[in-house]
């Protein structure tokens, strides 16, 4: 099949979207000094205005299963407003290969502080803290322990700390309106710290900001959260920022992903020729398998939890248990389908190529926007076992989506999303120790939507299963912390 004018036009559009998105990312960094380095094994990322001197410094700490990249929205907004910002990966997170031990995390902050104070642009007498979720507790404790060093603390989606009306100095609490218990945590901390107080000159400033329309992860990309933090820090340091910068890097990331998908749609007919014979299975068996899969996976994990530490299975907190969940669910679904298409060398090759395309489309820009996408060696060893565990699920999903129309494909996307979210919620009801599985729930609808689109472009179960399993395994290996 040749590349006709319509597909050539789509390919040109895709190239324009990808190039423009990278230009947008470059513009977001313009005027900033951005450097990556390490201090005593802790990966660091430093942002500051170019040519700046004696400016306030801010330590920015990520949450559980996060990374320094996930906090870059605050980093860019603060750096463009005249702050020097230091971000880092806690033990077991991102590019930090040290296994996670919670009592060591405060030492990670100390290493980041030392590195921040070594930067020539930073005024050591003007320092502040900002942290999200797990990181919020760590920065609040740092502000309590060393009250005179830090002029202000911003706790986003706060967990807990022994705050008082005196410490930490100038505490701002933020929570998303969709965060439930984190709003309650913030209200409790506000009351414990003396209630609302707008007088920051005394160091006893207190404020709670509820950011509308966001939850635990999307708050990190919220302009309302970024600007509230900037306003509070400016008030604490008695300065006024005239920066007009708004962080739009996630929009550029979305355009980058869209560009790759459009380009992939343009060339996919060249890759899928010649046609194939789809696997025909009765719809009742297809849907029965999908519905039964999460029930079997939940029961399987509950039984395994009696003999194994699922929370740290495979050396990855929660991620190993997610892989086992998909393994049991996928085998159950395949067992009910009871028919497998025959694999071919061509399908294996196309599946690997699909993984490479997804890896670039999803991850190339994620590395500089929101996720530590490059796997360090210890994480790379986790990738293939997790991908193999997830493979049966994606093979079953690929089989039921062979040779169907757009309407049915949308129905399967919706069905998978509901079943996965419901299945993981059911699992958490029986195994609350796996609570951080909830981090995956917002990802399932968009992720399954993208993969369903890919399934339609290739229309071959083995191609879809190999590419999707390798890609999803990489995502799990990149996201969840390394356990002790």
Q: What is the pLDDT of residues 26-40, one digit of tens each?
A: 999 999 999 999 999
pLDDT at 302: 97
The token pair that represents 365 in the structure block: 């820009």
387: DSSP letter = H
pLDDT at 403: 84
Q: Which residue from 459, 277, 476, 313 is spatially nearest to 387, judged by alpha carbons?
A: 476
pLDDT at 342: 87
Are residues 453 and 361 in contact, defined by beta-carbon separation less than 8 angstroms?
no
Helix (H) or strand (E) holding 72: helix 72-80
Phi, psi angles (nearest 5°) of residue 323: -60, -45
- Sheet strands side by side (includes 150-156): 32-39, 42-49, 84-88, 55-61, 122-132, 150-156, 171-176, 206-211
Which are the contacts of 235, defined by CB distance < 8 A and separation ≥ 6?
A: 170, 200, 205
DSSP string, 3-50: --HHHHHHHHHHHHHHHHHHHHHHHHHTTEEEEEEEETTEEEEEEEET
φ/ψ bin of 32: left (φ > 0), alpha (ψ from -120 to 50), beta (otherwise):
beta
Q: Which residue from 340, 464, 453, 292 is spatially nearest to 390, judged by alpha carbons?
A: 464
Regions in the chain scoring below 70 on pLDDT: 1-3, 102-103, 272-278, 484
Q: Which residue from 451, 14, 25, 12 is spatially nearest to 258, judged by alpha carbons?
A: 14
Which are the contacts of 360, defined by CB distance < 8 A and separation ≥ 6?
A: 260
CA distance 358 to 267: 14
Instruction: Return the bridge partners of 100, or none.
Output: 483
Instruction: Provide the strand spans (E) within 235-353.
Output: none
Secondary structure percentages of the chain, helix, strand, coil, to 5: 60, 15, 25
The token pair that represents 476 in the structure block: 């799990």
pLDDT at 273: 58
pLDDT at 277: 66
CA distance 114 to 273: 58
Are residues 472 and 98 in contact, defined by beta-carbon separation less than 8 angstroms?
no
Phi, psi angles (nearest 5°) of residue 41: 85, -5
pLDDT at 320: 92
pLDDT at 369: 95
Which are the contacts of 212, defined by CB distance < 8 A and separation ≥ 6?
A: 177, 224
Among positive and negative, which fits the CA dihedral 265, 269, 271, 276? positive
Please tell me the pTM assigned to this model.
0.93
Could you give the dihedral angle defined by the CA atoms of residues 266, 267, 273 and 279, in that order, rounded to the nearest 10 degrees? -70
CA distance 197 to 210: 16
Length reported for the chain: 484
Find the helix packing angle between 72-80 and 223-237, rounded to 10°.
Answer: 50
pLDDT at 37: 96
Which are the contacts of 27, defined by CB distance < 8 A and separation ≥ 6?
A: none
CA distance 429 to 385: 26
Per-residue pLDDT reduced to its tens digit, 422-469? 999 999 999 998 988 888 888 899 999 999 888 788 888 999 999 999
What's the burial of 405, exposed, middle or buried (CB within 10 Å: 0-12/13-18/19+)? exposed
């Amino acid at each position: 099949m040749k590349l006709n004018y319509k597909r050539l036009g789509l390919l040109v559009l895709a190239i324009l979207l990808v190039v423009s998105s990278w230009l947008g990312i470059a513009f977001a960094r313009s005027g900033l000094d951005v450097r990556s380095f390490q201090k005593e094994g802790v990966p660091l990322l430093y942002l500051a205005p170019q040519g700046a001197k004696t400016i306030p410094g801010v330590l920015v700490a990520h949450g559980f299963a996060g990374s320094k990249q996930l906090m870059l929205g605050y980093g860019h907004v603060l750096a463009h407003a005249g702050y020097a910002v230091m971000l880092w990966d806690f033990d077991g997170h991102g590019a930090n290969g040290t296994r996670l031990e919670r009592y060591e995390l405060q030492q990670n902050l100390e290493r980041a502080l030392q590195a921040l104070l070594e930067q020539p642009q930073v005024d050591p007498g003007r320092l502040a803290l900002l942290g999200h979720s797990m990181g919020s507790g760590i920065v609040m404790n740092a502000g309590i322990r060393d009250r005179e060093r830090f002029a202000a603390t911003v706790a986003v989606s706060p967990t807990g700390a022994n705050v008082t009306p005196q410490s930490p100095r100038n505490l701002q609490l933020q929570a998303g309106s969709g965060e439930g218990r984190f709003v309650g945590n913030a209200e409790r901390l506000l009351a414990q710290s003396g209630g609302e107080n707008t007088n920051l000159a005394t160091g006893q400033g207190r404020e709670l900001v509820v950011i509308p329309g966001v939850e635990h992860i999307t708050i990190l990309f919220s302009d309302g959260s970024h600007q509230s933090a900037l306003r509070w820090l400016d008030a604490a340091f008695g300065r006024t920022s005239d920066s007009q910068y708004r962080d739009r890097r996630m929009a550029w990331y979305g355009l980058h992903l869209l560009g790759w998908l459009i380009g992939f749609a343009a060339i996919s007919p060249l890759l899928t020729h010649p046609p194939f014979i789809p696997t025909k299975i009765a719809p009742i068996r297809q849907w029965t398998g999908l519905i039964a899969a999460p029930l079997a996976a939940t029961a399987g994990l509950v039984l395994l939890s009696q003999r194994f530490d699922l929370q740290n299975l495979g050396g990855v907190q929660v991620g190993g248990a997610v892989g086992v969940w998909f393994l049991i669910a996928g085998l159950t679904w395949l067992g009910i389908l009871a028919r497998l298409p025959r694999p071919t060398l061509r399908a294996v090759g196309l599946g690997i190529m699909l993984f490479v395309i997804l890896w670039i489309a999803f991850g190339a820009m994620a590395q500089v926007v929101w996720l530590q996408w490059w796997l360090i060696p210890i994480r790379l060893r986790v990738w293939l076992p997790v991908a193999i565990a997830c493979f049966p699920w994606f093979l079953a999903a690929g089989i039921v989506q062979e040779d169907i129309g757009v309407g049915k494909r949308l129905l399967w996307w919706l069905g998978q999303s509901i079943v996965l979210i419901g299945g993981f919620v059911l699992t958490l009801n029986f195994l609350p120790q796996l609570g951080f599985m909830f981090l995956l729930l917002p990802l399932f609808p968009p992720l399954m939507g993208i993969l369903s689109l890919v399934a339609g472009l290739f229309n071959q179960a083995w191609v879809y299963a190999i590419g999707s399993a390798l890609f999803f395994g990489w995502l799990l290996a990149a996201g969840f912390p390394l356990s002790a």
